[in-house]
Every structure is written in structure tokens, then in C-alpha cells.
């Protein structure tokens, strides 16, 4: 199958209605986007490589979902509404079953967010998926509404959505370094392979949050980016953070029960350093606590207040008694 046949067969959907911002979609030298007046275009780009970002035997439909989800997560962290995306795909061979599955997973998520495929490239090569995503975020009275990493202020509260660490737990099981009960792996695996980009929460946090980032590399590492960009420090209450699962799910669910009975040190490692969850980590003024809860409710997304921002540089982890956490997470200085 040639390149043009492949594009036409799996990725061109002429019957699909484009939003008014998509002036021209797939099929010419360029696509044309026309953001609404008074808005900025938020742009993010992620490249996924086999063996590094996904396992070789992953279901192509979940891969299609995840490749777009990690990009939508960046829009979410920015408070941008998804508009469109480009897809560049290097494939070892044109495997039709694989492509059909990939396209199905990709478009299911794209359609759920009204995000249109407007162009891209396909080529022969080692499997590589590169998506660039476009979202719209308003400028109100000359002030951009986009949520940046740099807006955190001393005194702000620190929040995380859902419970980071679940994807990492699934990865450890799939890599064979941990065994999980039969009823625990599937829901955790879904967190790893089919992450939910927190787009609705990001939109609801416009004008509420002072800074935001998505948790792709691990909570503490990504918090480090906020602290560096905002030139401040933070204290994280680890006892609250490792119980954020309670905010995320019915406590009778088997994966929740399993997580809650893990040793504290393991729960700390999962929540603070596990990556690939694509939750939102964000800050907001104390005065905005009610607004944050309203945003969580409006977006049906659990949110937990896990700490606060401080003038003093660096990161402090405290336990339930307010004492510094010792051991592996006592110092996390890679961003100091």
C-alpha cells in the first residue's frame, strides 16, 4: 500500500464535520487554522517511540488513544480547548490490522474532544508516532487565560487531580518486577494505556488556577518545573498525597484496596515519582478554594489539596505529624 492510499484509507474522513476554526484539513501542502478572534493557539508536540513510551505488544487501539491523550494532556495543563492535530507516523510496514486499530483508538478520543486531524506525514521507518496538537485559549482584556508553569505565588495551595502512581504500578506488573492480583491489574493497566487527559478540568481552572502542569514524569519532578518557572518553593503533605486515591475512586474497588495496603514507602514512591498518569498538578490562591472545588465538580474530576507554595526555595516533604519525611524522598534536589 502506497503512502497516499494509506492516508486515504485510514486517516482521511471527508464526511467528518470540521469545526469553524479548521478552514482546510487533510490533503493540501498545508492545513489552515483560523483561531477565533481574541484567542491564542496553544501548541504542543509529543513523540512516542516503541520500547520507550509503549511496549512492542501494546494493543494498537490503546496506542492510538495514548498518542493523542498525552498531547491533549498538555492542552489541559494549559487550559486550552482542543481544536485539531497533525499526525506523523513512521511504520516498519503498512500492517492494515494494526493501522485500523490505531486509527480507531485515535479517532475515538479525538471525536470525544472535537479534535480534528488536519494533516501529517507517513513514512517507512522504525515505529514512531509524532503528534502536534492545537488548542484555543482566550485572551480577556489583554490578559492571556492560558495556565502557565510560571504563575505560582507563595501562599498558593497545591493540588493534584486523581491519584498519580497507578500507571507506574501497572508498568511494574507488565515489566514483571511486581505481581498484582488478577482483579487489580486490568483497571491499573487502563490507567497506563488509556490515560484520561484532564481537558475538562483544565478548562474549568481557567481564571482559577495560578499555575499548572501535567504529571507525565512524576509528581515531584513536574512540581519541580513549576517551582523553577515560578521561582519559589513548596511543602507537600505526603500523608495526604498518598491518600489521594480516596478522592479518586470508590474505596471498595480492588485496585484501591490493593494500593491502600501497600507499605507507606512504596505508596510514596508510586505517588511522588511514578510517571505517565497525566493528572494535573496545579496551584491556586487560598481565596480560590471554593472555586477549585467548583471546577472539580463541574469537570467531574477528583482533586486533592496536597500542599502549598512558599517563598523559600526547594521542596519540603512532611508526614502526618508535620515532620520532615526521611529516607529516599527526604531530598529531591534534581531541580534545586
Q: Which residues bind a second copy (CB under 8 A)?
A: 23-24, 27-35, 37, 40-47, 49-53, 74-75, 77-78, 80, 86-90, 118-121, 123-126, 128, 130, 132, 134-135, 137, 139, 144, 146, 148-150, 212-214, 229
Least separation, in Å, of the C-beta of 137 and a second copy? 7
Which of residues 210 and 235 has its CB atom nearest to a second copy in the complex? 210
Q: CA nearest 219: which of 277, 261, 303?
A: 277
Which of residues 1 and 41 has its CB atom nearest to a second copy in the complex? 41
Alpha-carbon distances of 211 from 101, 103, 136, rounded to whole Å: 36, 34, 18
Least separation, in Å, of the C-beta of 43 and a second copy? 5
Least separation, in Å, of the C-beta of 46 and a second copy? 5
And the C-alpha cell for 275?
510517571
Report the DSSP pairing between strands 233-237 and 143-144: unpaired
What is the spatial distance between Cα 241 and Cα 259, in angstroms, rounded to a whole number? 13
Least separation, in Å, of the C-beta of 310 and a second copy? 22
For 25, what's the count of Cα atoms within 13 Å in the CB-facing half-sphere?
Answer: 22
Report the DSSP pairing between strands 116-124 and 81-91: parallel
Query: What is the four-CA torsion angle of 49, 71, 278, 273, rounded to 10 degrees?
Result: 50
DSSP conformational letter for 25: -
Q: CA nearest 168: which of 191, 144, 196?
A: 191
8 Å CB contact between 99 and 3? no
Which of residues 123 and 313 has its CB atom nearest to a second copy in the complex? 123
Which of residues 125 and 324 has its CB atom nearest to a second copy in the complex? 125
Q: CA nearest 305: which of 314, 296, 197, 313?
A: 296
Which of residues 281 and 288 has its CB atom nearest to a second copy in the complex? 281
Least separation, in Å, of the C-beta of 86 and a second copy? 4
Which of residues 24 and 240 has its CB atom nearest to a second copy in the complex? 24
CB contact burial 309-321 (16+ within 10 A = b; e otherwise): bbeeebbbbbeee
Least separation, in Å, of the C-beta of 289 and a second copy? 24
Alpha-carbon distances of 299 from 197, 205, 219, 295, rounded to whole Å: 12, 10, 21, 6
Which of residues 173 and 278 has its CB atom nearest to a second copy in the complex? 278
Least separation, in Å, of the C-beta of 262 and a second copy? 29
Which of residues 70 and 185 has its CB atom nearest to a second copy in the complex? 70
Least separation, in Å, of the C-beta of 80 and a second copy? 6
Amino acid at each position: 500500500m502506497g503512502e497516499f492510499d494509506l492516508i486515504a484509507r485510514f486517516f482521511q474522513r471527508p464526511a467528518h464535520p470540521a469545526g469553524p476554526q479548521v478552514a482546510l484539513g487533510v490533503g493540501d501542502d498545508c492545513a489552515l487554522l483560523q483561531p477565533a478572534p481574541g484567542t491564542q493557539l496553544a501548541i504542543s508536540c509529543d513523540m512516542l517511540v516503541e520500547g520507550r513510551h509503549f511496549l512492542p505488544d501494546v494493543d494498537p487501539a490503546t496506542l492510538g488513544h495514548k498518542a493523542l491523550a498525552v498531547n491533549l494532556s498538555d492542552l489541559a495543563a494549559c487550559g486550552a480547548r482542543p481544536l485539531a492535530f497533525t499526525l506523523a507516523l513512521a511504520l516498519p510496514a503498512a500492517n492494515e490490522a494494526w493501522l485500523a486499530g490505531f486509527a480507531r483508538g485515535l479517532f475515538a478520543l479525538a471525536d470525544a474532544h472535537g479534535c480534528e486531524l488536519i494533516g501529517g506525514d507517513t513514512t517507512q521507518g522504525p515505529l514512531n508516532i509524532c503528534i502536534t496538537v492545537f488548542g484555543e485559549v482566550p485572551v480577556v482584556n489583554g490578559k492571556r487565560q492560558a495556565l502557565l508553569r510560571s504563575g505560582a505565588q507563595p501562599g498558593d495551595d497545591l493540588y493534584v487531580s486523581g491519584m498519580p502512581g497507578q500507571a507506574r504500578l501497572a508498568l511494574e506488573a507488565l515489566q514483571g518486577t511486581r505481581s498484582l492480583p488478577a482483579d487489580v491489574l486490568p483497571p491499573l493497566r487502563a490507567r497506563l494505556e488509556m490515560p484520561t487527559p484532564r481537558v475538562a478540568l483544565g478548562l474549568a481552572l481557567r481564571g482559577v488556577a495560578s499555575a499548572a502542569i501535567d504529571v507525565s514524569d512524576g509528581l515531584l519532578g513536574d512540581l519541580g518545573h513549576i517551582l523553577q518557572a515560578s521561582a519559589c518553593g513548596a511543602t507537600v503533605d505526603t500523608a495526604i498525597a498518598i491518600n489521594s486515591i480516596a478522592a479518586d475512586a470508590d474505596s471498595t474497588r480492588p485496585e484501591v484496596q490493593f494500593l491502600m495496603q501497600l507499605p507507606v514507602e512504596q505508596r510514596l514512591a508510586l505517588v511522588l515519582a511514578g510517571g505517565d498518569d497525566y493528572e494535573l498538578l496545579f496551584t491556586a490562591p487560598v481565596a480560590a478554594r471554593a472555586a477549585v472545588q467548583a471546577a472539580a465538580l463541574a469537570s467531574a474530576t477528583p482533586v486533592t489539596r496536597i500542599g502549598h507554595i512558599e517563598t523559600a526555595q526547594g521542596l519540603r516533604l512532611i508526614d502526618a505529624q508535620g515532620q520532615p519525611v526521611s529516607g529516599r524522598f527526604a531530598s529531591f534536589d534534581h531541580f534545586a
